[in-house]
Amino acid sequence: MKENKSKYVLMTAARNEQAFIEKVIRSVISQTILPVKWIIVNDGSKDRTQEIVTKYLKDNAFIELISVSGDKARNFGSKARALEYAYKKLRKINFDYVGNLDADIAFDKDYYERLLEKFNTNSKLGVAGGKRYDKHSNKFKLVRSAHNSVGGPFQFFARKCYEDIGGYMPLRHGGIDSVAEIKARKMGWQVKSFKDLKVFHFRRTGRAKTGGIRSSFNTGVRDYHIGYHPFFQIFKVMKKSLNSPYILGSIAAMCGYCYAYFAKQQRQVSKDFVKYLRKENMRRFKLAFHKFFPFFLYFSDLI
């Protein structure tokens, strides 16, 4: 085991994860640099999640299991509150970095050692992580994402960055990870995902309980509540059509966004947050189209 010069802690909110949680536990306890503390919050599980975690506690003193009742249904607000509860306990510990770790992922034994190296060479780095590979049938496929975005199941923060943004917001419709990294960028922190670090995700995002079409609709509702620009949302769902459930998924996502828009649903994020995000959206939109349509830069300035 290598000396832990840069200290990090982990926190996990787990609900009914008996099928996967042993994979992430084995990934963490085999790390070349171990966390000083890992709090696993059993968020109202009705299966063997607590039993599975418990059997690893004796030989791994850095793991702490906490059981809470949680909300009756799986939701992102409950997850954010579970993580907030874990972080309150972690704040008493001396550490430099904190990671949110979902209970359905796995990674190589030197994952955190290499991630810490990224932070040690860049003082402006606030949020980082590897690239996500979701499991499709019996194969893992790369989930393409922007270089300045990190998958929610494994976001890793500089402690000051995490405290600057106030941790994860308990958002009813999800997007707690997106809002966290947008806040970080807004406050001047860098957010980066590294292709040389792989994270294997055993459950496709958004499908813990819902099917592909329903999940896509919910994603559209979520995007409205986060504050994505309508024009950027169209671009986003067009891109989504390249992945299953393809065209139907894109239509469902746009319908979800429009439903929330016309229902005038109240956002939990601030107007200032939405303003920043939409400027970011249009900057990405311009860059994406400039290669093919140079005149688009002039046109988009009129929006």
Q: 148 vs 77, which has greater pLDDT? A: 148
CB 134 within 8 A of CB 102: no
pLDDT at residue 303, as a whole number? 43
pLDDT at residue 72, as a whole number? 55
pLDDT at residue 144, as a whole number? 84
Quickly state the pLDDT bin for 211 (edges 50, 70, 90).
low
* Cβ-based burial of 196 (10 A; exposed 0-12, middle 13-18, buried ≥19): exposed
Please compute the mean of the pLDDT values over residues 104-110 and round it to a whole number. 97
pLDDT digits (tens, 9 = 90+) for 127-180: 999 999 998 888 999 988 889 999 999 999 999 999 999 999 999 999 999 999
Q: 43 vs 71, which has greater pLDDT? A: 43
CATH level 2 (architecture), domain 8-201: Alpha-Beta Complex (3.90)
The CA distance from 71 to 56, in Å, is: 26
Q: What is the pTM of this model?
A: 0.88
Mean pLDDT, rounded, of the chain: 89
pLDDT digits (tens, 9 = 90+) for 139-151: 999 988 889 999 9
Residue ranges covered by each domain of the chain: 8-201, 212-300
The CA distance from 18 to 35, in Å, is: 23
pLDDT of residue 104 exceeding 90: yes
Give buried/exposed letters for 38-61 (b at 16+ CB in 10 A, else e): bbbbbbbbeeebbebbeebeeeee
Q: 284 vs 170, which has greater pLDDT? A: 170
The CA distance from 173 to 76, in Å, is: 7
